[in-house]
Structure 1
Amino acid sequence: MSASHRHNGGRSSSTPPESSHSLNRSPLWERDDANGGHGQRERNRRRRPAEYDFAEDEEGSLIQFDRRESATTSELFYDLWFVANLTVFATVHPITEVDALVSFVGYFLLLWNTWFITTTFDARFIHDGILPRLARACHLTVMIGFAIAGAAFDRKELIRSIIKALSLFLVLSRLVLTAQYCLILYGVRHNKRGRRALVVAATLTFIPAIAYLVVGIVSDTSNNRHVIIVWYVVGLLELLGGILHATLSKTLSFEGTHFNERLNLLTLIVLGEGIIILAKNAAKIVEYTYLKGISTYWSPALVGTLFSAGAIIYITYQLYFDWMPQGHHHPHMTPWRHAAWTLIHLPFHAVLVLLSEGSSQWAVWWRAIESYREVEAKLEASVNDNIADSDSTRSSKVAEALKDTAYSIMKKYGSDPEDGSKNSQDLDTAFDDINGLPSSFWDQGMKNTSDPNYRTWVDSYLGVSRTTMNSVSTAFGLSSEDKKDSGTTDGKSAELAAVNSTLVRLHTIFAYLFVSAGIVLMLLMILHILAKRKGWSQFDMLRAAIVFTTGTGLSLVATIKLNPSMLSSFINSPLQLPIILICYFGCLILTHIPVSPAPTNERSDQSEKGVKNVERRSHRTRDPESAVPGRRQRHSSSREEPISGHRRQRGNDNSAYDTDRSAQRKDRPEPNMAERVVDHLWRAVYDLFVPRAERRYDDRGRSRAPAYWV
């Protein structure tokens, strides 16, 4: 068998139609070894079952497996279940606490690792049948198991039944993969090299299955935290083992497969999951503004925050695929580069989800801040409108106005102020205390901080304001602690109390938002460096340094939380997401800045290729094998002379063409500084909006806008 992988563009012609439902189709090519292994011929019209006789194959030649250039619908359907699990987890457990963040990282590791080992098998072997479809059903069942376990994955100590269930689902996934590898192993059992590679692959899935089974059994008596750590350790070792085996094995390597396309598609799916989260949070903002009648407009800051969140996802998509070389499904990377490129996608996808989650959560948080301010303004207005009268019923009017305003706000945000709960009782007590204040207090007591009635008024008002604002926090998913702050006496203290009650969660969102934004940029550039082996100019190196510096700077913004005063002023300004957007947009501009490549002359290149072809043909005519009696000479000297003359004529034409172009350039006047700046900006805009495949270039190798651009 041939030692090199041979594959066609798209699906190979020998691949059976997916509608043929045999029990199990072999993913092997059939070869014709009539000439001692030379001149092998692929029989594309039919395939035998994988029952080859390799008894005479003493050297253990490479097994040639069928390859596919693109993913099947079955694989894409499986990917949809992956994003469904991510969406469910992010919906049930918004990442607003450190515990939720840690739980997400562990859950994502197990989910991504399960997707990876299943995808590696799909990329290596292409076949359809009853058994493969049953195996796919088992893998989808495992995804359902992840959805079930994800509902309780935010706790510090998981429920034992959840640990058992998820362990059994992980065991099922690995055992099914082991059985699938064994089926392929049976087909190549006579080939030493293929048998050894498949035994290793089956072992790498069977050993983790035993480990997960032990975890499910031991969870009855062991500490749940230790059991969860075993999950993560086994998952990492399994992932590293699979990548290492694909790197070292020539039989089961990723070369010639569509595995890179699957990773690219998964990146799109992860970005889509971020869009889903953003859309849900935007719908929540619409509900608590227009639909509930709370507000009739969106502030420019809120609009800018939502726009920035969506633009960050869009620019991330552009950077990922713009920094992939052409033909990104099969970039020419060495095995170790490809291993690193594959492994980096795990943290990249994790921080990409965190970036999307943090951006959308920050939009919700900014709307909550605006709601706090609106609530405080309405409560103050209800008090000021009723203390202007000089009658003796001012206290009862103030209490009634506060009650009506607070109840109206709480009902709009989904809370029931009359449900008999502790908050409802506290509100009634506060209203009674305000109603019992003397009428003279509103004339003199409001300015006398030493008056005992003043302390009663402050405590009662803050209690009403705090309870009302807590309903806002609950509506937006920012639950707050109900702590009284009786030491504050100014009118803005209610708003600060509501903000401080959710400050811990806010700091968590702020920290992982900027850290993930910086890490995403740096990992994007690392993936670009690994995928692009050649063609690095000085500008490319400068751009890489700028991107790394920008990513590091964004990550270090999270250290502002060490300075409380600076953090407070920064959080209360709508600049967080716009700052990230500006940095990302700057990196996108750097990607599309026109850089003049080395001048090339297409005609001279064609001439050089023609001369090389002539020399190659001349070499073949001088080949001693051409003198063998009975062998027809494919290239005669009679054909060589006209070709050489034709090439010489084209070479003379090229020389004249270059002379004319040089003379034209000399006749042109030198542009002044303003014309150069305008020309440079015009080329930058042209290169930014026109795909590379559609760009036109002038004789100097610079981008040239077509006529309809002018």
Structure 2
Amino acid sequence: MTATSPPPDPKSHTATYEHNDNTSRPIVPWFPSPIDGWDKEQQCFAPRHMASTIELFFDLWFVANLATFTQYHAITNRYTFWSYVAFFFVLWTSWFHVVCFDARFTSDSVWERACKTVHFCSFAALALVGYKFAPVARDVQDATPHWVYRVMCFALLLSRVWLALQYVVTAVSCSSAPHRELRLMLPLLLNAALFLSVAGILSGMFMNFANLENNLTAVLIGMYAVLFIEFFGSLSISMIWQRLSFKATHIGERLGLLGLIIIGEGVIGTTKTITRTLGRTGPNFHGTVQIFCIILILLFMWILYFDRVPHYRFGTVKQDFWMALHLPFHLAILGVVEGSQQLVQARYVYESITELHLNVWRACVGGNLDGQALASNLTKSLDYYKIDESARGTLALPQVFHQINILSNITDVCSPTNTVGLGNDVYDLPESFRGFLVESTDALVQSLNIDIPFEEDMRTIEVALHSWSVVYTYFWSAIILLETCYIVTHLLADVEHGNWRSLKRYISPSVLSRGVMVILAAIMLTLGTTNPAFEQDYIARGWSLPTVVLMLWVICICDRAVKLWKQRRRRRQHYKTLSATTTELQTCIILMTSSSEEKYPSKGPMRLTRLRVFLIPATKEEVENRLQDDQDQRKEAVWAQLFWYGVDTPHTDEMNLSGLQRCFWQAMESNKVRSFSNIRWAVILLLIVDSSVVKLHLVFLSMGGAAKRMSGE
């Protein structure tokens, strides 16, 4: 309750209490009209201001498909990377079109639940697609079974046909006589025609994929071109017909929640990374620091997005562009969280291999062990990493033990004669240890259960090294894309620096810090791709994640500094405005109370005392000396303000309306009242002056009207 809130009504409280005793919910309607969500004031659809439970249920199907695809498809080369991007685009756009419809037209009903069931089936079919989806490969014809493409076309066809049906039903509901003047029929039918056209093309592709001799590359390029046109076409319709815009919907909340869910996927992956890297040998300093860096990266990504989410309407075109920007933004988040986990595991493998080879060197060169003593030492070194706790590691151990058996049967394999002055590429060990080092390294990598596909003529460690090079590339590329999206969203949400041609938009510390970090990330990407030795050393030393943490932390600090500076500037302006307004109100109110004291001797002194407690820092004589000759005009201004705010005061019938309006706006606008809090304060003080019959509803209406005319807070 505020100071001006009325006391609680006992009757109302009792009624509410009795209502809460009834736990039954109203029955779900069969088919509510979409026009019920029409906002007459905003001239657009706004059925609700937050996501419903069935909408959140639909989001779970998206994240389930994404998690399944991530589990079965490791990014180890450029083919798997682009296949990952291709599936994400199909999944995200299918989700986005459903969300765009839900945000504007749906409410909980039997019809809506039936529609969601159809979309659930569509996403269930996409889960089957993701299991073996590889459209980008060395041999596109044989990389993915043709039935996978047919299932994908069927899933997309089902989703688009049902979306078209939903738009047609909405168009029919909005075409009735009472709502025909809104002219919603054409844009709604255009949306339906767009999705029906895409469905027709997909049905043709469904038949095309049945022929194994057709060129799949051309068909896939055509399919993605159609999906791109569909994506931007649906947004263009809402830009042109602004009555279908999203300005009064909760679409921003839905997009933000999906980003939060994708970050949550990173949290799940982080827990798996913890068990893989720290769950066998226990926590250590370097591994703990790497995990802490992942946590900070997830936190900073959340801060940089949700602290800049616009909570106001910033234009139809800009909002649609902001919505479309979430496609690369969510993809960048996914690349960062997945790349972070892979880099932590890569650093763990590098560290484990180095420790293992060092232990072997100590046993052979340092201890000159032979026979059973050497075999026991090597076995003990392997047992430390608990390779047998993994199914894949267990399968690789027989080859390692075979190499240990070979070494134990070689006489004087580690004698001083065989270990002095070697200088080879086997860590200064005898050549006989090469097989053991290769097999033990492969077993160590496989024990992490990383999905690394087998490639001919390449050892497991070689495939892993190549895959980590790809991870390094797409990780820093995702950082660049992420920071670029942060820059664009910051510029879209910035309404304080005028139009796009204003230089202040681009030289603010927030934008400059993001731009500098994009340049730094581009430098790191260039160094890694042009210098493989630098890339491997940077991964092995574990500096990739701390570098990103430092970059994101600098951006957060710059944003914080800018907000503090703006807050202090607003306070200074607020105090200046408040000082000017207070001087005017002091003058008017003191003279009014002086007049009241003459007319009402019994009430005047009491009111003057109450006013001095709240407002008056100067004496009555000082104010009257400053006013000099215009005291009568000031008295008239006070009565005008009281009458404007609905206070019944004597002799108001003697004042004409034009004079009252002129005096009111002179008191309010000439003193540059920019804050709603100032207006509210002035109202409270004026009500204290004359506490006769007060029409509170007129007071609040006047406050709202005055607030709308102000251009400040």
On whether the aligned pair clears a TM of 0.5, the verdict is yes
What are the within-5 Å matches in structure 2 for residues 60-459 of structure 1?
65=45, 67-154=47-134, 156=137, 157-190=143-176, 191=180, 193-221=183-211, 222-287=214-279, 289=280, 295-298=281-284, 300-325=285-310, 328=311, 331-383=312-364, 387=368, 394-395=370-371, 397-399=373-375, 401-402=377-378, 405-406=381-382, 411-414=387-390, 424=398, 428=402, 430-431=403-404, 433-439=406-412, 442-447=415-420, 458-459=430-431
Displacement of 1:352: 0.9
Q: Percent sequence identity over matched residues?
A: 20
What are the within-5 Å matches in structure 2 for residues 552-701 of structure 1?
552-561=519-528, 562-593=530-561, 594-595=564-565, 596-597=568-569, 599-600=572-573, 601=575, 602-603=577-578, 637=655
The CA distance in 2 between the partners of 1:431 and 1:654, in whole Å, is 87
The CA distance in 1 between the partners of 2:387 and 2:90, in whole Å, is 41
Match of 1:510 in 2: 472
Unaligned runs of at least 5 residues, structure 2? 1-23, 138-142, 499-503, 589-635, 644-651, 674-713
- Specify whether residues 379 and 499 from structure 1 end up closer, same or farther in structure 2 by C-alpha distance, changes over 3 A only: same
- Specify whether residues 306 and 400 from structure 1 end up closer, same or farther in structure 2 by C-alpha distance, changes over 3 A only: closer
- Specify whether residues 204 and 609 from structure 1 end up closer, same or farther in structure 2 by C-alpha distance, changes over 3 A only: farther
The CA distance in 2 between the partners of 1:70 and 1:122, in whole Å, is 11
Query: Deviations along 1:68-96, whole A, 9 cap, x unmatched?
Result: 22121111111122122222222222334
* Helix, strand or coil at the partner of 1:143: helix
* 1:473 alignment partner AA: V
Query: Deviations along 1:242-282, whole A, 9 cap, x unmatched?
Result: 11111111332212222222222222222222222222222
* 1:104 alignment partner AA: Y
- Specify whether residues 135 and 435 from structure 1 end up closer, same or farther in structure 2 by C-alpha distance, changes over 3 A only: same
* 2:440 alignment partner AA: T
The CA distance in 1 between the partners of 2:670 and 2:537, in whole Å, is 72
- Specify whether residues 526 and 606 from structure 1 end up closer, same or farther in structure 2 by C-alpha distance, changes over 3 A only: farther
1:29/1:66 contact within 8 Å kept: no
* Helix, strand or coil at the partner of 1:324: coil
Match of 1:56 in 2: none
* 1:205 alignment partner AA: F
- Specify whether residues 234 and 466 from structure 1 end up closer, same or farther in structure 2 by C-alpha distance, changes over 3 A only: same
The CA distance in 1 between the partners of 2:384 and 2:579, in whole Å, is 80
* 1:565 alignment partner AA: A
* Helix, strand or coil at the partner of 1:534: coil
Match of 2:28 in 1: 21
Displacement of 1:382: 4.3
- Specify whether residues 226 and 277 from structure 1 end up closer, same or farther in structure 2 by C-alpha distance, changes over 3 A only: farther
- Specify whether residues 378 and 253 from structure 1 end up closer, same or farther in structure 2 by C-alpha distance, changes over 3 A only: same
The CA distance in 2 between the partners of 1:30 and 1:565, in whole Å, is 61
2:171/2:185 contact within 8 Å kept: yes
* 2:204 alignment partner AA: V
* 1:323 alignment partner AA: R
1:470/1:479 contact within 8 Å kept: no
Displacement of 1:350: 0.5
What's the RMSD between the two structures over aligned residues?
Answer: 4.2
Displacement of 1:560: 1.3
Unaligned runs of at least 5 residues, structure 1? 1-16, 32-39, 43-61, 290-294, 389-393, 486-496, 622-633, 656-710
The CA distance in 2 between the partners of 1:552 and 1:321, in whole Å, is 24
What are the within-5 Å matches in structure 2 for residues 519-558 of structure 1?
519-535=481-497, 541-558=508-525
2:353/2:441 contact within 8 Å kept: yes
Which structure has greater helix proportion?
2
* 1:341 alignment partner AA: W
- Specify whether residues 153 and 556 from structure 1 end up closer, same or farther in structure 2 by C-alpha distance, changes over 3 A only: farther
The size of the alignment, in residue pairs, is: 565
* Helix, strand or coil at the partner of 2:417: coil
Displacement of 1:226: 3.1
The CA distance in 1 between the partners of 2:427 and 2:516, in whole Å, is 53
The CA distance in 2 between the partners of 1:249 and 1:434, in whole Å, is 78
* 1:26 alignment partner AA: S
- Specify whether residues 653 and 478 from structure 1 end up closer, same or farther in structure 2 by C-alpha distance, changes over 3 A only: closer
* 2:192 alignment partner AA: A
* Helix, strand or coil at the partner of 1:189: coil
1:160/1:220 contact within 8 Å kept: yes
Query: Deviations along 1:146-179, whole A, 9 cap, x unmatched?
Result: 2221111246332111111111111111111111
- Specify whether residues 97 and 455 from structure 1 end up closer, same or farther in structure 2 by C-alpha distance, changes over 3 A only: closer
The CA distance in 2 between the partners of 1:127 and 1:572, in whole Å, is 53
- Specify whether residues 89 and 425 from structure 1 end up closer, same or farther in structure 2 by C-alpha distance, changes over 3 A only: closer
2:297/2:548 contact within 8 Å kept: yes
- Specify whether residues 605 and 127 from structure 1 end up closer, same or farther in structure 2 by C-alpha distance, changes over 3 A only: farther
1:158/1:224 contact within 8 Å kept: no
Query: Deviations along 1:633-682, whole A, 9 cap, x unmatched?
Result: x9983788899889999999999xxxxxxxxxxxxxxxxxxxxxxxxxxx
The CA distance in 2 between the partners of 1:212 and 1:255, in whole Å, is 32
- Specify whether residues 517 and 118 from structure 1 end up closer, same or farther in structure 2 by C-alpha distance, changes over 3 A only: same
The CA distance in 1 between the partners of 2:32 and 2:57, in whole Å, is 21
2:418/2:430 contact within 8 Å kept: no
Q: Does 1:467 align with 2:439?
A: yes
* Helix, strand or coil at the partner of 1:251: helix
